[in-house]
Amino acid sequence: MNARPVGIHDISFATTHYVLDHVVLAQQHGVDADKFHFGLGQDAMSIAAADEDIVTMAAAAAAPIIERHGVEHLRTVLLATESGIDQAKSAGLYLHSLLGLPTAARVVELKQACYGATAALQFAMALITVDPSQRVLVIATDIAKYELGTAAEPTQGAAAVAMLVTADPAILRLEPVSGVYAKDIMDFWRPNYRTAAVVDGKSSVLAYLEAIEGAWQDYRDRGGRKLTEFTQFCYHQPFTKMAYKAHRHLLDSQGFTPDPQTVEAAVSDSTGYNRTIGNSYTASLYLGLAAALDGHADLSGRPIALVSYGSGCVAEFFGGTVVDGYRDQLRTAANGNAITRRKPIDYDRYRALHEAELPSDGRRHVLPEETSGPFRLAAISEHKRIYETRTEHIELTEIN
C-alpha cells in the first residue's frame, strides 16, 4: 500500500508595521543606492515597531490558517527562530492565548540559524507519515538585526511564515528524499549577551556555497532528481543576490554553463518578497517559496527545489511537486497587502527602534501602541511578556 503524500496544505506570511527604504539608508551611509539595489538585490527592509516581535508576527502569520482550517487534528506546533525571546519557554506557547490553539498538542521551538524551519518541516512530515490524520503547524519567525554602519546592516529584515503540513496537501507535495550537510564553522553567530549577530560576510558566503553543494551531492547519492528536472529553485536568501550566486555555483559545480537567462528563469520569481522585506532568517526560504508560488504563471504538476542553509552550519536540499489547483489555496492578495501596508520611516526613527532595548528590571512597562497588525506586545511586567489582540484594546496602566 502506497503511503499518502505529505506536504504544505496552506501557507501564510506576515511582516512588520514599518519599512525603511534603502535609498534612505544609502543617503545616511553616503553611498549610491545602487550598491544595495544591485549589489545586494535589496530595495527595502521591514522594521519591527516597538510593540512587535517574533510572537506577534508568528501569530499574524498563523491566524489566517487557523481561521480557514480550524484546530481539529492539530497535534503539533513547531516554531523555528534564531531570535528567540526566552531561554526556556517556546515562543509558540504564547500563541495559545492569541489563537486558541488546542491543549492536546506538543509545542516546541527549534533553533539552528536560518535552517531551523526546514528541520521543523522535516519533523512535521515524519509525524504525519506515522499518523496521516494529524496536522502540524510549522512557523518560521525572525527579526534580523546587525550593528549600525556594518556591511550587514542593509540586509536586515523581519517576517514570519506559517505553514500547515498535512497528508494529501493542496499546495505542495514534499518528496521523501533529501540531502543534508553539516559542519562546525564560525561564519555567523549571536552569543546570549548580544542582541545583534556577529557575521564574517566573506566566510559566510563561501560556507553557504560549500554547504549547498554538499547537500546537493548527498541528495543525488540518495536517489534524488536530476538538476534539470526542477522548474524553479527556492534558496535561502540572506540577500536576494545570494540566490543567484548560489544557483550559478550549483550549476557550475555540476558542469552546466550558468548563463544569465537560465539563472533568472530558475530563481527570479522566488526573490520578489525578500527583495523588499529583507533577511528574515528562518522564514527567508519560505518567503521565497510563497513568492515563487504567487509570481509564476503556472507551476501545476511541476517539481521545485528547496535549498536551505543555516550558518554554523547546516544545509538541506529537497524537492516538492506543486499540486494541481494550488492557486485556489494561495493568499496572493493578502501577501501583497502585508507588504504595501507598511509605513515608511526616516533614518532617525529607524535608528531609535534599532537601538531600543526592552526593560529588564522586572517592573511593569507599557509599550506604545504602534503596530497596525492584529497582535501586539502590550507590556513587560514581572519579567513576563503581555500580548493582546488589537481588536480588544485592553486598557493597560503603567505602574511606576
Strand order in the sheet with 303-310: 106-110, 74-80, 135-144, 157-167, 6-14, 172-182, 314-322, 303-310, 232-235
State the Cα torsion 127-131-132-133 to the nearest 10°.
Answer: -120
Closest residue by Cα to residue 95 from 56, 143, 121? 56
Catalytic residue (choose from 22, 109, 114, 213): 114
Grid coordinates in use for 24? Answer: 534612505
313 catalytic residue (yes or no)? no
157-167 and 303-310 beta bridge pairing: unpaired
Grid coordinates in use for 103? Answer: 491543549
Q: Are 80 and 64 in contact (CB under 8 A)?
A: no
Strand order in the sheet with 384-389: 365-366, 375-381, 384-389
Which residues of the chain form beta strands (DSSP E)?
6-14, 18-21, 44-47, 74-80, 106-110, 135-144, 157-167, 172-182, 188-189, 198-199, 232-235, 303-310, 314-322, 343-344, 365-366, 375-381, 384-389
Alpha-carbon span 212 to 96, nearest angstrom: 36
First CA to last CA distance, the chain: 66
Residue 316 sits at φ, ψ, to 5 deg, of: -150, 140
Burial 207-228 (b: 16+ CB within 10 A, else e): bbbbbbbbbbbbbbeeebeebe
Catalytic residue (choose from 9, 22, 82, 234): 82
Alpha-carbon span 11 to 13, nearest angstrom: 7
Catalytic residue (choose from 9, 236, 247, 354): 236
Segment (H or E) for 241: helix 240-253
114 catalytic residue (yes or no)? yes
236 catalytic residue (yes or no)? yes
Q: Are 191 and 314 in contact (CB under 8 A)?
A: no
The residues carrying an active-site annotation are 82, 114, 236
